[in-house]
Amino acid sequence: MPAYPDSDAEAAFLRIVRHLESAWNAGDGHAFAAPFAKDADFVTIRAEHVRGRDAIGAGHAAIFRTIYAGSSNAYRIESSRLLRPDVALVHVHSVLDSPQGPLAGRHAARFSLVLTREPAGWEIAALHNTLEPVPRPTGGSEAPGE
């Protein structure tokens, strides 16, 4: 039976997610990385595996200067549960608005956070991000060659 976090843990999870959202929208890669553990893992929507808070921060600083310059993200927690009293799994839905680059336009994604409770509070041990597929147009023929 899953264990659900208490209101203090839920509030901490929300603070972390809001911090990520604010840092993204400010284009601040190093602030984005702040809630991550020093040895955290981050898997991007392109399945690139980044290891460590410093690398996560540097990578985000780079994308905020280039392909995601001027973009904004809106995050919403979909669910959370405790895997152990000091380990949580949180699923977050995100909507990216990007004015330029390879993902110009509006795109939705979903990411999983593994959070651990440390002496200083909850921190991100891992984040795995997955881009939602673009819906196919409905109606009309689906026959090959048309």
As given in the structure block, the two tokens for residue 108 are 């939705």
Per-residue pLDDT of the chain (146 residues; tens, 9 = 90+): 668 899 999 999 999 999 999 999 999 999 999 999 999 999 999 999 999 999 999 999 999 999 999 999 999 999 999 999 999 999 999 999 999 988 899 999 999 999 999 999 999 999 999 999 877 777 655 544 44
pTM of the predicted model, to two decimals?
Answer: 0.89
Pick the CATH number of 7-131 from 3.40.50.2030, 3.10.450.50, 3.30.160.20, 3.30.1280.10: 3.10.450.50
Q: What's residue 146's pLDDT? A: 45
Burial 18-42 (b: 16+ CB within 10 A, else e): ebbbebbbebbbebbbbbbbeebbb
Contact assessment for residue 126 and residue 109, using Cβ atoms and an 8 Å cutoff: no
Q: Where are the domains of the chain?
A: 7-131
